[in-house]
Amino acid sequence: MQHERRDVRIRGEMMGEYITVGMGASRNKDARQAAIEAATQAVKDLPKAPTCSLVFARADLDPDAVCAGINSVLGKNWIGVSSDKQFNNANGYHPDTSVSVLSICTDYLHFGVSIAENYRRNPEKSAQKAAREAIARCKADKFVDSYIQFTRAKKKDYGCIIRTPPYFMLAFLTGAKIKNGKVVPGHEAEFLNGILNETGPHIPMFGGSASSSFEDYFKGKADNFQFAYGKVYRDSAILVFVVSDLVFYTQVKHGYDASKLFAAVTKLDKSGYDILELNGREPIAEVARLLGMRKKEYLKKAEDLSLRRPLGLVQVEGTAYVKEALPNPDGKTLHSTFKLYPNSILNVLEFNKEKTLNTIKTCLTEAIAEQHGTKPALGLFCVCSGRRPLIKNIESKELNAAKKFRKIPLFGFYSFSEVGSTKKTSAQSHSQTVTSLLIYDKLLSD
């Protein structure tokens, strides 16, 4: 299993010993042609046909045309979703990018893909079924994988082994959309609960929701789509179970600081989305009290405050993850963008501009430190579109903040909901957050 090391990075591509990646992007307004251009660029320097490919497409493109264009180059061995915006090493960030393609070539990652169609009808049950199917469809190399695990057990202590299992899950869901003038939620939290019911709570996970343009969402015309097996899907989730012989690292980061202001969820409606009481009091009045303002003032600034002082769900180890909530029409209760549970503890977070601008940089810095200075061969990122109102031109600014890592192949998209886990916390659906999956050109046994 020992070879002379080869690690060459050019034009956002990485040609390594155990994994090679290629990327392509197009700004062509013709959906089919954009797909062909991006896919052709992604695979042109690969040593052989890609093991798997990931596609992000602008939501206002014709998905059937995108699908036809990708199929003409890659066949049907790829997955993808619509996105708000995209960024990658093929062209950095550009607001007019139509289609981005990542192609991976490796013998050390094995993929099993499943689709949960129309999962909103029963998110948890659909997720359990899809997770079982994805695992069953993963055709791992029993000889190589068992050799890696055998060697790993001989060379590593179990304190190291238990922190990085030889598998992870990719989850690309359907995000919030607007139908007949009404917002239809993606039910991401319930779907992820279904996955964890099947796999257990400790499976590493990365992904996000298929999304529309952020601007279109506020114009009341948001829709999204997914791709798998060379077909277009809507209202569906794409799950990928990955057996990995390579070292990887998942992260969840946001640009907020915790405060000393806390609220317990003491009453919810049956759906878990409407907060009826906080600290035993009327929710809006209680949040206004915590912030030191009158209820009338809070209601005037509610949208801005939901971004600058959002509620964060406190985890067991003390971390707080953003769960935005906005006033209901009754002027008393709050509607959470994510499902909550009774007795949850919420912290009133504080926006930190510097921390927000450096979130991607922080992810990369910590990932490199985790591997004692080894840089990732690939960085996958899902970034919340809702961060845009907080900092003008944040897309280009946060990539510029991470420019010292420009030789690391980065491939990301902007979404309405980010999926991620850490070594300490189970997978969740997040908001105002950056989730990441970093993969290294390094065997788990090394």
Going by their DSSP bridges, the two strands 167-174 and 86-88 should be labelled as unpaired
What's the pLDDT at 215? 84
Going by their DSSP bridges, the two strands 205-210 and 182-184 should be labelled as unpaired
Helix axes 359-370, 394-401, angle to 10 degrees: 30
**277: phi then psi, degrees, rounded to nearest 5:** -150, 140
Tokens read off for 326: 């906005």
Going by their DSSP bridges, the two strands 86-88 and 410-415 should be labelled as antiparallel
Burial class (CB in 10 A: 0-12, 13-18, 19+), 404: exposed
Q: CB under 8 Å, gap of 24 or more: what pairs does 285-289 form? A: 285/332, 287/263, 287/311, 287/334, 287/348
Query: Measured between alpha carbons, how far is 267 from 55 in angstroms, rounded to an integer?
Result: 42
Domain parsing of the chain, residue ranges: 8-254+355-443, 256-351
Query: Measured between alpha carbons, how far is 446 from 429 in angstroms, rounded to an integer?
Result: 32
Q: In terms of pTM, does the model score above 0.85?
A: yes
Complete DSSP assignment for 108-158: SEEEEEEEETTGGGSHHHHHHHHHHHHHHH----HHHHHHHHHHHHHHS-H
Question: For 294, what's the count of Cα atoms within 13 Å in the CB-facing half-sphere?
Answer: 3
Q: What angle do CA 257, 378, 115 make, to 5 degrees?
A: 90
Whether the CB-CB separation of 414 and 94 falls below 8 Å is answered with no
Which H or E element spans position 302?
helix 302-308
Q: pLDDT of the chain along its 446 residues, tens only?
A: 343 343 433 344 677 899 999 999 999 999 999 999 999 999 998 999 999 999 999 999 999 999 999 999 999 999 999 999 999 987 789 999 999 999 999 999 999 999 999 999 999 999 999 999 999 999 988 888 888 888 888 888 887 778 889 999 999 999 888 888 888 888 999 999 999 999 999 999 999 999 988 888 877 888 899 999 999 999 999 999 999 999 999 999 999 999 999 999 999 999 899 999 999 999 999 999 999 999 999 999 999 999 999 999 998 778 899 988 999 999 999 999 888 999 999 999 999 999 999 999 999 999 999 999 999 999 999 999 999 889 999 999 999 999 899 889 999 999 999 999 999 899 999 999 999 999 999 999 98
What's the pLDDT at 13? 62
Contacts of 19 (CB under 8 A, 6+ apart): 104, 105, 106, 108, 109, 246, 377, 378, 439, 441
What's the pLDDT at 16? 87
Could you tell me which residues are beta bridge partners of residue 87? Answer: 93, 412
Query: Measured between alpha carbons, how far is 292 from 298 in angstroms, rounded to an integer?
Result: 10
Q: What is the DSSP letter of 300?
A: H
What's the pLDDT at 160? 79
